Amino acid sequence: MRIEKYWGWYEILNEDPHLVVKKVFLNPDSISPLQYETRVTKYWTLIEGSGSVCLGKPDKSTWQTIAGSTWKVHDKMMHQISASKDGLLYIEIICGNIADNNTVVYEV
């Protein structure tokens, strides 16, 4: 099932108490909310498109990214991803204590 958001959409491909696998698409020139989670680690693998990834403080930790890139988002690490003019498709794997995860969003 596809879940529509203002920034794009995602589909949950697999889910259990310790693992969630999502297919995520960011609309062209869109940006995800700046956020962090507790008790989980995320892995991103970019499939199509390009953009930028922020891991940590937004003004100091932003990198350009393209299809084929992989990123690890540690527990309690602020993160945000943005798409270029073509959009961005990636796979997100969330590992850890999914039931006790607490997401903190800094901006909507």
* Domains (range + CATH), the chain: 2-98 (2.60.120.10)
pTM score of the predicted model: 0.92
Can you list the residues of the chain whose pLDDT is less than 50? 108
**d(Cα 10, Cα 37) in Å, to the nearest integer?**
18
Nearest to 80 by CA among 47, 31, 8: 31
Amino acid identity, position 37: E
pLDDT of 23 reads 98
pLDDT of 85 reads 97
pLDDT of 68 reads 97
Regarding beta strands 40-55 and 35-38, do their DSSP bridges make them parallel or antiparallel, or are they unpaired? unpaired
> 10 Å Cβ neighbour count for 60?
7
pLDDT of 98 reads 87
